[in-house]
Amino acid sequence: MEQLPLKDIHFPEAVSIWPLAPGWYMLAVLILLCCFGVVYLYKRLKSKTVLKVAAKVLVTIRADENLDNLQTLGALSTWLRRVAISNAPRSDVASLSGSDWLSYLDTHLHDAPFSKGIGRCLAESQYQRSAPEDLDLDALFKLCERWLKCQKPSKPQINNISQELRTK
């Protein structure tokens, strides 16, 4: 009997890891989207918390009976500056003073109460020796509450998110 020329069993080639299956690409994109989503939600919750804390601080300033009118003006001016810096890019707000500062505060209010109304006393209150005689603190507190209500939580910017990811 003649031997048949049979060849040995051939196994298929080993499956390589590259190129990846489409599911791996979708998983990578999903992970990136989840990371950006978590950072976005964190910034959004943080900015809403800033406005809630600012409202509580304003109530505390209003209720503090140990402050005289000049100290109250200084506290309100400091409070406005802190809220503005917390809610907007620091580079846009921190360097403002005088009429530029009042104009910034008026950006969300239509009747310009800081530049042309009761809010003018906040521009130079920290440099005065005494509070203005015609100062109406109740109207000033109502104006500050109105300004705070007009503030919207700051929207996270992609540049800020990428900077935070790089620093962590």
Give Cα separations from 162 to 36, 71, 87, 115, 157 (angstroms). 9, 40, 18, 37, 9
Top pLDDT among 157 and 11 is at 11
* DSSP summary character for residue 15: P
Max mean pLDDT range (13-22, 23-32, 42-51, 77-86): 23-32
Task: Say yes or no to pLDDT of 68 above 80.
Answer: yes
User: What CA–CA distance (Å, rounded) separates 62 from 66?
Assistant: 10
Give Cα separations from 128 to 95, 121, 139, 162 (angstroms). 20, 10, 20, 43
Are the beta carbons of 114 and 151 closer than 8 angstroms? no
Q: What is the pLDDT of residues 126-138, one digit of tens each?
A: 777 777 777 888 9
Six token digits for residue 57 = 């601080």
Q: Which residues contact 47 (CB under 8 A, 6 or more apart)?
A: 86, 87, 153, 154
Region 113-137: what's the mean pLDDT?
A: 81
Whether this model's pTM surpasses 0.75: no
Are the beta carbons of 79 and 144 closer than 8 angstroms? yes
| Ordered DSSP codes for 81-139 | HHHHHHHS-HHHHTT--HHHHHHHHGGG-TT-HHHHSGGGGGTSGGG-SS--TT--HHH
